[in-house]
């Protein structure tokens, strides 16, 4: 259909809502104001260039480059043949998957919970949305440490809440302190949305700091939604610690979000979950039953195989990420003016590029990280996500979940380009 609608996005600039009177007059204000996911937009642009034959190297993707381990795929094939998989199943998830999640959670993070405390969702993303929908009323404020995962503010806003950013930077390794959080509390503060290991920074909060934040939230009566989807991807001396393990008293006001996507190279299968108090599980299950019913049974069977099949494949993939992490960080640090804290977890580096902005480069002068990311893509065909997507201009996010050769080639292209800065 021919349309006079203005384009919502250009190049790698962070998408903005449509101006009043255009999209908004046709779709609701609530949904019309949601920008598309900037990370997916970068990835799509890189893939489109690649499909057109360009030698693009993409650092934008938030997913492992490995195939899902074979035993998980086989379990899904078997589930396809089972007539039970062809029917609706309970909205909260297959009982065996809820059991497997509870057992894996106890085994992996030490958090004791039962199958009844678990709701299976279409990815961790849906668990975040449902947690916000269940817990927030219009006007409620949510403390959101920045840089944050790009979906969080939209999930909060869709539920009628307001994200209140607590900005951190490389000087503290992107860790928010209790003092920083406390400075943003108002009478409307209802929740802290916490993520460790972090997307986009790779920061992993130490156990004592998690305990301090948890105790502080408990004292204030705040809810905590803690996103632990990268729990298995920690490196060196870093350790993943679940907030509820160190502050168990927070359980009546805490939602833990997790999923199989990042740990088992299963982003396309769409299985995540929340672990929450009974009233939240009941409310979220009711919502879920009207929204999507059960998660696809074949995917749920695959998730059971993932959670019960041991961690050998996870260890293998983590070793590859760790090796690539070392290469990426040392190459980024070779670029004059780039500050790159060593990521302790997930699979992203988040270098600060602020000192590179406002300088001449191939006839242009990028003044924001979005402009710099566009220039890098156009000039050397390397895709990185600008920091604006995560609430902080002046940074780039580069995923190291790609092959070793591509990684080295991509960063050396960036090095070569930025050597021309004047
Ligand atoms: C911090 C964080 N939480 C949750 C998710 C959601 O993952 P999924 O919906 O694929 O399970 C992602 C995916 O990028 C993420 O980075």
pLDDT tens across 143-194, in order? 999 999 999 999 999 999 999 999 999 999 999 999 999 999 999 999 999 9
Given a contact cutoff of 8 angstroms between Cβ atoms, the answer to whether 66 and 267 are in contact is no
Q: What is the pLDDT of residue 13?
A: 45
Q: What is the pLDDT of residue 319?
A: 97
Q: What is the pLDDT of residue 5?
A: 39
Judge if the beta carbon of residue 149 lies within 6 A of ligand 1: yes
Given a contact cutoff of 8 angstroms between Cβ atoms, the answer to whether 199 and 149 are in contact is yes
The more confidently predicted of residues 46 and 216 is 216
Given a contact cutoff of 8 angstroms between Cβ atoms, the answer to whether 330 and 319 are in contact is no
Residue of 169, 163, 99 lying closest to 128 (CA atoms): 163
Distances (CA, A) of 150 to 190, 250, 371: 20, 26, 18
Given a contact cutoff of 8 angstroms between Cβ atoms, the answer to whether 386 and 368 are in contact is yes
Sheet holding 348-349, edge to edge: 348-349, 396-399, 385-386
Digit-coded pLDDT (tens) for 12-69 = 444 545 555 555 578 888 888 887 766 677 777 788 888 899 999 999 888 899 999 9
Closest C-alpha residue for ligand 1 atom 1: 199
Judge if the beta carbon of residue 267 lies within 6 A of ligand 1: yes
**Which one of 262, 273, 299, 399 would you pick to mutate in the ligand 1 pocket, going by the greatest count of ligand atoms within 8 A of its CB?**
262
Judge if the beta carbon of residue 200 lies within 6 A of ligand 1: no
Q: How confident is the model at residue 114 (pLDDT cuts 50, 70, 90)?
A: very high
- φ/ψ of residue 378, rounded to 5: -70, -35
Between CA 157 and CA 163 the distance in angstroms is: 7
Q: What is the pLDDT of residue 8?
A: 36
Residues near 106 by Cβ (< 8 Å), separated by ≥ 6? 112, 113
């Amino acid at each position: 259909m021919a349309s006079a609608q203005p384009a919502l996005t250009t190049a790698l600039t962070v998408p903005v809502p449509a101006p009043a009177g255009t999209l908004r007059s046709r779709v609701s204000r609530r949904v019309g104001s949601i920008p598309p996911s900037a990370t997916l937009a970068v990835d799509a642009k890189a893939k489109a260039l690649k499909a057109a034959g360009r030698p693009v190297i993409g650092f934008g993707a938030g997913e492992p480059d490995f195939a899902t381990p074979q035993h998980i795929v086989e379990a899904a094939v078997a589930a396809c043949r089972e007539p039970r998989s062809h029917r609706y199943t309970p909205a909260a998830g297959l009982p065996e998957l809820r059991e497997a999640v509870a057992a894996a959670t106890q085994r992996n993070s030490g958090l004791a919970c039962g199958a009844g405390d678990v709701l299976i969702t279409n990815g961790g993303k849906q668990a975040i949305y449902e947690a916000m929908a269940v817990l927030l009323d219009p006007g409620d404020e949510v403390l959101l440490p920045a840089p944050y995962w790009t979906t969080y503010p939209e999930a909060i806003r869709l539920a009628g809440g307001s994200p209140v950013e607590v900005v951190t930077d490389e000087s503290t390794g992107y860790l928010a302190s209790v003092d920083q959080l406390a400075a943003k509390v108002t009478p409307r503060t209802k929740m802290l949305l916490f993520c460790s290991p972090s997307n986009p920074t790779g920061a992993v909060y130490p156990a004592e700091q998690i305990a301090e934040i948890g105790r502080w939230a408990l004292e204030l009566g705040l809810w905590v939604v803690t996103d632990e989807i990268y729990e298995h991807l920690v490196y060196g001396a870093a350790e993943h610690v679940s907030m509820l393990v160190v502050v168990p008293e927070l359980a009546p006001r805490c939602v833990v979000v997790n999923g199989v996507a990042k740990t088992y190279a299963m982003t396309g299968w769409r299985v995540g979950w929340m672990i929450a108090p009974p009233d939240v599980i009941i409310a979220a299950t009711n919502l879920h039953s009207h929204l999507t019913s059960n998660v696809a049974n074949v995917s749920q069977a695959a998730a059971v195989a993932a959670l019960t099949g041991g961690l050998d494949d996870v260890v293998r993939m983590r070793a590859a990420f760790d090796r690539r992490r070392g290469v990426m960080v040392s190459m980024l640090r070779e670029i004059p003016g780039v500050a790159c804290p060593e990521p302790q977890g997930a699979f992203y580096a988040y270098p600060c590029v602020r000192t590179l902005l406002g300088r001449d480069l191939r006839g242009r002068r990028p003044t924001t990280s979005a402009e710099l990311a566009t220039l890098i893509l156009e000039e050397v065909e390397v895709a990185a996500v600008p920091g604006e997507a995560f609430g902080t201009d002046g940074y780039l996010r580069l995923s190291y979940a790609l092959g070793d050769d591509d990684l080295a080639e991509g960063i050396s292209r960036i090095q070569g380009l930025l050597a021309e800065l004047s």
